Amino acid sequence: MVVHRDGGTIEHRRFSDIVELIPGGDLLVLNTTRVMKARLLGRRASGAPAEIFLLKPMGDGTWEAMVSPGGKVRPGRRVEIAPDLAVDVVGITERRTRVVRLVSSMTDSDALERHGHVPLPPYIRRADSTGHESTSVRPVSRRKTSSSELRRTNVVVGCSPRLCTSATAASPSWV
């Protein structure tokens, strides 16, 4: 949807028309990050389900995380995610989030890629995250997904001579 500010009219266009909509001299910035599979679903020692949502690495091999159920997933407890991945709760932050450590023979990024889930907004009901990747190609750095990002799936973004500088056109990192 394009809203023309000068007259207030609305025009329906496709994303592929973006090249025609950006004036010469303007800059188009593409976000080339991927959504991190930061949601881990597992079982506590009792067999009851638990969820670990990684927020950020803390630098010493631990992560800040939100957990559910919060009252049961306390320091000293372990959540089994898969036969080759467990999460140990090692502390509580001032914000009441948890400090956790991934226990695996894999690197954290490999373990998350294999066993993690994309954290989808609650209004999107889907058993898996297949097909929810947008035009992303760079390393993982974001932890949330917007529904507008999900709708741009499979859009091919090209480098128009009018929009790209010669440096970008010679080596586009996002194609």
Tell me which H or E stretch contains 166: helix 166-170
Please report the pLDDT score of residue 30 as a whole number.
82
Class of residue 29 by CB neighbours under 10 A (exposed 0-12, middle 13-18, buried 19+): exposed
Distances from the Cα of 112 to the Cα of 56, 124, 131, angstroms? 13, 21, 18
Distances from the Cα of 113 to the Cα of 48, 75, 141, angstroms? 24, 25, 13
- Could you give the 3-state DSSP secondary structure of residue 93? coil
CB 12 within 8 A of CB 3: no
Please report the pLDDT score of residue 87 as a whole number.
98
pLDDT band at 34 (very low <50, low <70, confident <90, very high): confident
Please report the pLDDT score of residue 127 as a whole number.
55
Walk me through the domains of the chain, giving residue ranges and CATH numbers: 38-115 (2.40.10.240)
Q: What is the DSSP string of 98-159?
A: EEEEEESSS-HHHHHHHH-B----TT---S--TT---S--S-EEE----HHHHHTTTPPP--
**Which whole number is the average pLDDT over 90-98?**
96
Q: Which is higher by pLDDT, 160 or 112?
A: 112
Please report the pLDDT score of residue 164 as a whole number.
52
Q: Kindly report, residue by residue over 149-174, the tens digit of the pLDDT.
A: 444 433 334 455 545 544 444 333 43
Q: Which is higher by pLDDT, 125 or 33?
A: 33
Q: Kindly report, residue by residue over 113-151, the tens digit of the pLDDT.
A: 999 999 888 788 765 545 444 444 444 444 444 444 444
pTM: 0.61
Show the DSSP H helices in 12-107 as ranges.
Answer: 18-21
Please report the pLDDT score of residue 167 as a whole number.
40
User: Can you name the residues that pair with 99 across neighbouring β-strands?
Assistant: 64, 91
Asked whether residue 105 carries a pLDDT value surpassing 80, the answer given is yes
CB 93 within 8 A of CB 69: no
Asked whether residue 62 carries a pLDDT value surpassing 70, the answer given is yes
Give the rounded distance of the alpha carbon of 20 from its chain centre: 30
